[in-house]
Amino acid sequence: MEWNLIFLLNSILLGVGLAMDAFSVSIANALNESQMKKGRMCFIAGVYAFFQFAMPMIGWICVHTILEYFNKFQIIIPWIALILLLYIGGKMIWEAFHECEEGEGAGASASGDSALPCKSSLTISVLMIQGIATSIDALSVGFTIADYGLVMALVASLIIAVVTFAICMAGLLIGKKAGNHLSSKATVLGGIILIGIGIEIFVKGVFFS
């Protein structure tokens, strides 16, 4: 592969394709946190961008070092993404119902009014799990860029990261606006979206790979 317009377009298109899951998760996160500030949005998008940069590079390294073992590991990639996203999405839905019920009980006893809708917190650990789950299939991009040199692979991965950052920021903005209107339903919808993404990655990886 040479340094030309085709290389740039290929990298951008790879970035768009790989960022779709992170885009959907960004919407789900912002639905759950509609008052999210710009600094936090940049941090969240940056985490997804980092993993989308790291995974293709890890895949590239594996292709050039431990190809046989990497091929075997690819089989379980869809299972890992499914388990992680089912866990996070299920946890969000469970917390939405149980914590809101507890909050409503406490609010009713204190003031006689229903409590404000609860929100499931997006902690660093949850964000990291999301980043891994939505980018782990990008390991296979190591095959796509296997004929690149190290510098070219780094540049391609950086382009993928930049595209991911921009797309995730758009997802967060969309989720924020929708979350303001959905109120208490936003957390449940976010959890359903995460579960749906996990199933989509699994089906795509197992049946269409």
Q: Are 192 and 73 in contact (CB under 8 A)?
A: no
The pLDDT value given to residue 107: 46
Q: pTM of the prediction?
A: 0.78
Neighbours of 154 (CB within 10 A): 16
**Kindly report the CA angle at 175 between 169 and 176, in degrees rounded to 5?**
90
pLDDT string in tens for the chain (209-residue length): 678 888 999 999 999 998 998 999 999 888 888 788 999 999 999 999 999 999 999 989 988 887 767 777 778 888 888 898 898 888 888 877 775 554 444 444 444 444 444 555 688 999 999 999 989 888 888 888 888 999 999 999 999 999 999 999 999 999 888 876 665 577 788 788 888 888 988 888 778 76
The pLDDT value given to residue 129: 92
Where in 22-161 does DSSP place strands (E)? none
